[in-house]
């Protein structure tokens, strides 16, 4: 239980594929006899932040160790809307803290792996976890098995992944609880007269609930569906609005129909697309496929990737915390963000965080090869006189430079190197992509010149850890064709590779409208120059993730799986579609009655 909770560096097991990186944390298990005087380090909010809520729900309500709920790392890297979710979890735990200390494990054959019930004779908070690709449905019996001793009518309310009233039953009766694939679920069982305010008939999220202020709620619905909702729990309020319009029908226990636009979905948002993969000859453009993937990726610190995920913040305190972290000398001096190559500051740069990768090198016959290939992407085809790399690490010797306009054809370019600088002579030819072999250990600045003037570099980016195709060419190739007939909001494709394929031994590339596209995210994470410890390295069960855009609907998508390890070719690919948040939303506002 004392393992570190940093997602990409410690806990991602290779015993399973998954839809997101944190599933390894959901498989941490329980302390012996539910002992609370145990330490599990809490939940790290730093890297691979998707689905962090599932991780924290188990830490706080399932294991519930002595300092739970416990977080560490960089919580300022959450999205703005996620801070309300973080507060809700802490507030719910605080509300029931006194009774959460009493826990019992539930029968795995009935309630699934690691199920726990906590509370007293009248109120129980029950946690479930699903570590598989299919939905699990458990029969929850309100009685002795979960710790309920009293009689009467009970409400069963889900608090995670969404909030909803599951149903009402008498003590001794049962109802069904569905646990989504690779998710944790938290439900509360309580007497109806103690259930408090809620909304019946729909999933929802409480965004803001402060005494004396309007309650802000997000109603969650599937496209094309209508929900009959009502307010429960005797909430005393003046009026209710939905998307800014007053709704009188909800007064005095009334009901109101809430409809969501769009076409009604015919399929489950999470499903196997049953793609049929066939073995094919190695594509003649396999190198282009791999280069498309590599040029689309970065080797930045995991925290930088999290910042990109979270976007800009409207909270000054969050911005100040982010600036303090990313602008601190400790972070900047490591050179683990490629943007420092293009900031005009010769004191910053981009480097290999060497201690992280000395034991993990790509296969190559070149004894001088050490760090991978340095790739530079200009963002568009640009005609330059030269490209200049400054502040090269001491002792560095370039072995060659290639450039391409479209990744189809590569040309060797002349270069000169002296006094810590590498000048690439592009001679006014139009290029977009550059490969420099081998990668320098560090570079402080990259500039481009046309007609004797420095050009704008806002679109430029670089990485420095990925290898060349011909150092370890593909030995197997498989292909499947899929059609996205419909997709719920927030959907993405997942391509799990079940089995052993070797470390960095298999990659997935998509082809849409004749254009190759690489997976922007992978489980286990792509190589990175890390802020602290190295990303974990695995040789099996990678899962590649690819976001679905509206333009992809109705189009044929080709999925290529290239294998590079001749000793590990028996892995099995498949294609799934899933969504972390398959809902459209409407804003409900409940104005409390103000007492004079």
Assign residue 570 the CATH number of its domain.
2.60.40
306, 289: one domain: no
Report which DSSP code applies to 540: B
Please choose, from the candidates 523, 490, 518, 494, the residue with its C-alpha nearest in 3D space to the C-alpha of residue 47.
523
pTM: 0.94
User: For 258-354, where are the alpha helices, taking DSSP H only?
Assistant: 286-295, 302-310, 316-326, 329-332
User: Checking DSSP bridges between strand 71-73 and strand 43-45, what pairing results, if any?
Assistant: parallel
Whether 78 is in a domain gets the answer yes
445, 532: one domain: no
* pLDDT tens readout for residues 317-363: 999 999 999 999 999 999 999 999 999 999 999 998 744 434 434 33
Place of tokens 């470390």: 503
**Could you tell me if 585 and 218 are in contact, meaning their C-beta atoms sit under 8 angstroms apart?**
yes
Give residues with Cβ within 8 angstroms of 17, minimum separation 6: 133, 494, 496, 497, 498, 523, 541, 542, 543
311, 372: one domain: yes
543, 568: one domain: yes
71, 127: one domain: yes
Whether 187 is in a domain gets the answer yes
Whether 2 is in a domain gets the answer no
Q: What is the DSSP string of 217-236?
A: EEEEE-TT-EEEEEEES---
Q: Which of 465, 488, 511 is the last residue of a domain?
A: 465
Query: In the prediction, which pLDDT does 363 show?
Result: 33
Assign residue 75 the CATH number of its domain.
2.60.40.1180
Q: Which of 465, 481, 500 is the last residue of a domain?
A: 465
Assign residue 361 the CATH number of its domain.
2.60.120.260
Report which DSSP code applies to 371: S
Q: Which of 433, 465, 497 is the last residue of a domain?
A: 465
Domain that holds residue 169: 7-201
Please choose, from the candidates 284, 296, 303, 301, the residue with its C-alpha nearest in 3D space to the C-alpha of residue 337.
301
As for how many domains the chain has, the answer is 3
State which residues of the chain have pLDDT below 70. 1-14, 234, 354-371, 595-596
**Could you tell me if 389 and 460 are in contact, meaning their C-beta atoms sit under 8 angstroms apart?**
no
Measured CA to CA, the distance from residue 562 to residue 528 in angstroms comes to 22
461, 476: one domain: no
Task: Compute the residue count for the chain.
Answer: 596
């Amino acid at each position: 239980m004392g393992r570190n909770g940093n997602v990409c560096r410690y806990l991602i097991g290779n015993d399973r594929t998954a839809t997101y990186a944190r599933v390894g944390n959901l498989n941490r298990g329980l302390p012996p006899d539910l002992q609370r005087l145990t330490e599990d380090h809490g939940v790290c909010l730093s890297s691979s932040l998707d689905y962090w809520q599932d991780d924290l729900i188990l830490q706080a309500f399932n294991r519930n160790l002595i300092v739970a709920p416990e977080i560490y790392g960089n919580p300022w890297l959450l999205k703005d809307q996620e801070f309300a979710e973080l507060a809700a979890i802490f507030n719910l735990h605080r509300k029931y803290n006194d009774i959460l200390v009493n826990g019992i494990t539930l029968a795995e054959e009935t309630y699934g792996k690691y199920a726990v019930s906590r509370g007293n004779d009248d109120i129980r908070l029950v946690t479930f976890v699903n570590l598989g690709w299919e939905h699990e449905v458990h029969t929850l019996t309100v009685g002795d098995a979960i710790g309920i001793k009293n009689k009467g009518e009970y409400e069963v309310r889900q608090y995670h992944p969404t909030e909803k009233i599951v149903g009402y039953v008498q003590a001794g009766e049962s109802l069904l609880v569905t646990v989504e694939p690779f998710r944790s679920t938290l439900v509360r069982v309580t007497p109806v007269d103690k259930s408090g305010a809620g909304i019946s008939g729909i999933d929802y999220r409480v965004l803001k609930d402060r005494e004396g202020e309007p309650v802000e709620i997000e109603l969650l619905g599937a496209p094309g569906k209508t929900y009959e909702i009502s307010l429960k729990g005797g909430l005393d309020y003046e009026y209710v609005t939905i998307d800014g319009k007053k709704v009188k029908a909800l007064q005095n226990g009334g009901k109101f129909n809430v409809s969501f636009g769009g076409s009604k979905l015919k399929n489950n948002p999470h499903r196997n697309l049953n793609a049929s993969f066939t073995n094919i000859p190695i594509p003649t453009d396999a190198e282009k496929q791999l280069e498309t993937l590599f040029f689309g990726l970065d080797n930045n610190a995991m925290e930088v990737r999290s910042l990109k995920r979270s976007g800009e913040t409207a909270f000054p305190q969050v911005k100040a915390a982010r600036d303090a972290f990313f602008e601190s000398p400790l972070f900047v001096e490591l050179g683990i963000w490629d943007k420092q190559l293009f900031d005009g500051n010769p004191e910053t740069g981009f480097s290999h965080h060497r201690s992280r990768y000395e034991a993990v090198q790509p296969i190559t016959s070149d004894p001088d090869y050490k760090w991978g290939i340095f790739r530079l992407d200009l963002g568009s085809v640009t005609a330059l006189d030269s490209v200049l790399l400054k502040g090269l690490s001491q002792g560095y010797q370039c072995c060659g430079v290639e450039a391409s306009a479209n990744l189809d054809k590569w040309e060797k370019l002349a270069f000169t190197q002296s006094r810590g600088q590498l000048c690439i002579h592009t001679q006014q030819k139009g290029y977009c992509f550059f490969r420099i072999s081998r990668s320098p250990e560090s570079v402080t600045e990259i500039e481009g010149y046309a007609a004797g003037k420095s050009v704008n570099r806002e679109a430029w980016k670089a990485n420095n850890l990925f290898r060349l195709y011909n150092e370890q060419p593909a030995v197997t190739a498989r292909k499947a064709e899929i059609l996205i007939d419909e997709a719920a909001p927030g959907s993405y494709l997942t391509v799990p590779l079940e089995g052993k394929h070797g470390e960095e031994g298999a990659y997935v590339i998509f082809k849409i409208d004749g254009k190759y596209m690489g997976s922007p995210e992978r489980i286990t994470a792509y190589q990175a120059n890390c802020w602290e410890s190295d990303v974990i390295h695995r040789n099996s069960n990678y899962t590649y993730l690819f976001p679905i855009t509206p333009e992809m609907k109705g189009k044929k998508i080709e999925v290529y799986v290239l294998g590079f390890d001749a000793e590990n070719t028996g892995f099995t690919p498949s294609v799934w579609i899933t969504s972390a948040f398959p809902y459209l939303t409407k804003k409900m506002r409940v104005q409390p009655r103000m007492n004079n």
